[in-house]
Each structure stands twice: as structure tokens, then as C-alpha cells.
Amino acid sequence: MALSQDEKETLRQLLKALFGNAADGNVINPTEETLQLTEQYILKLDQCNTAIRKLLRSLPTSIIGKGFLKKVLKHMLKLVTRNLHEFRACSSVGQISLMRYRIFQSTW
């Protein structure tokens, strides 16, 4: 089922909010495929964010800020390697970039 004009405009604005200038609202023409790809993108980011939040909460430090990684580097490696399946969503920035490219490609 095709997107209504209102849905297209709303999706156009959402893409502009998510991707900034890369999503010039006057150029893109969102389709049903764009909607599906954007949904997949958001869900993939959520999986990654959930895994990272869980990792940060399990670190033996109460303060996460500049310089924290050096203090917990070995511990973080153990946690990540022990839970690799949880980090597959984050395993490649390229994978997320490819999804972003596919979203824009679907609007041409």
C-alpha cells in the first residue's frame, strides 16, 4: 500500500531530523520501502544502544566520562567477548551506514 501525502511528508521530516542536511526534504520522495528501511534502521540502532547501555552499567566504575575507558579497558574486553551476540547489531558502523544509504536510495 502506497504512503499517503501526509505520511510521505511526515517521513520526509523524520529523515531530516534523523540525518540532518543529508536528508534534504525537497529532494527525497519516500516510499513504502523507505518506511520499512527506516523502521529496520531504528530497530537496529535500538539493539545497539541497548547492548551498549547494558555494557556501561556492568562496568566496575561509577563514573562514565572522559578517561573512563583506560581504567576499565580489560574488563570491557572481557564483557564484550563474553557477550558477542549482543553486540552484533553494533559490530559494524558500515552496516548501519549501508542501511542509511539504502534508505536514501529508496527515495530516488
pLDDT given at position 64: 73
Tell me the average pLDDT across 62-67: 75
* Per-residue burial over 9-31, b = 16 or more CB atoms within 10 Å of its CB, e = otherwise: eebbebbbeeeeeebeeeebebb
The amino acid sitting at 43 is: L
Q: Show me where the domains of the chain are located.
A: 5-105
pLDDT given at position 7: 94
Total-model pTM: 0.70
pLDDT given at position 10: 92
Whole-number percent of the chain with pLDDT over 90: 12
